[in-house]
Amino acid sequence: MQRYWGLNNMIKIKSQREIELMREAGRITKAALIAAGQAVRPGVSTREIDAIVRKTIEDAGAKPSFLNYRGFPGSACISVNSQVIHGIPSAKTRIKEGDIVKVDVGACYRGYHGDSAATYAAGEVAPEVRKLIEVTRQSFYEGIRYARKGLRISDISHAVQAYVEQNGFSVVRDYLGHGVGASLHEDPEVPNYGTPGRGPRLIPGMVIAVEPMVNQGDYHVRALDDGWTVITADNKLSAHYENTILITEGEPEILTAGEAI
């Protein structure tokens, strides 16, 4: 994957009107993610979860951002156990007791996107697996402590990596967070690892998706032949957590507000 530290002039600073539309896109995105999370249980297929996401988004007057995005066939990416991201919903994939299920959702409302993901356990999981899910979620919050005017993108990246590694897990490096706006993926790139003090400076009006992907084992991943699904190279578990946030004059504002887990 090509990496670059974009200049700030590649980053679109959102107007007040755009921010209001993105709040609504974020609200719909999170509502669909919560509905998906409530549907995760042993016996359900990932296709059924996908249908719930699509209905929730469309009933709210928005469009699923992922549906047909570069040909993606679902409204949500649903990735089970060692699948990291970009899992394709399928009637053949049935959730089993003890699985962990990553649901990634985007909604487009009047031309603006929201992007949010979370990891759900189906039934009982081992304490170590529960810890993986919790550390992944908390690493997002550790990261956005640095999502403040005047700091730099990699200050967020570094905080995510440090927290994850202190807890004995690894952060995926081949896939990154990103700017969000009229496009689902915009500048800047937002890595989940790196040395602090690098990359674009954070400016009020920037909107970014911060999305740690955390592996139980090694950080290496590989893509499957279906052209989408990314799995851990060592077949150990992976977790994901994501929100779309707005840089402000003070604390960052989570546009995909509300607790998914």
The residue ranges that bind Mg ion (CB under 5 A) are 104, 115, 117, 209, 211, 242
Looking at the Cβ atoms of 116 and 161, the one nearer to Mg ion is 116
CA distances from 17 to 21, 31, 124 (A): 6, 22, 44
Looking at the Cβ atoms of 18 and 242, the one nearer to Mg ion is 242
Token output for 57: 């988004």
Token output for 172: 């995926």
State in angstroms the smallest separation of the CB of 119 from Mg ion.
Answer: 12
Determine how many CB atoms are found less than 10 A away from the CB of residue 16.
7
Looking at the Cβ atoms of 182 and 234, the one nearer to Mg ion is 182
Nearest CA among 106, 121, 76 for reference residue 237: 121
Looking at the Cβ atoms of 5 and 175, the one nearer to Mg ion is 175
Looking at the Cβ atoms of 16 and 52, the one nearer to Mg ion is 52
State in angstroms the smallest separation of the CB of 28 from Mg ion.
Answer: 14
State in angstroms the smallest separation of the CB of 124 from Mg ion.
Answer: 27
- Cα 16 to the center of its chain, rounded Å: 24
State in angstroms the smallest separation of the CB of 142 from Mg ion.
Answer: 18
The answer to whether the CB of 116 falls within 8 A of the CB of 260 is yes
Tokens 């139980």 correspond to 216
Token output for 59: 């009933």
Looking at the Cβ atoms of 49 and 117, the one nearer to Mg ion is 117
The answer to whether the CB of 36 falls within 8 A of the CB of 199 is no
DSSP 38-53: HH--TT-BHHHHHHHH
State in angstroms the smallest separation of the CB of 65 from Mg ion.
Answer: 9
The answer to whether the CB of 229 falls within 8 A of the CB of 83 is yes
State in angstroms the smallest separation of the CB of 243 from Mg ion.
Answer: 9
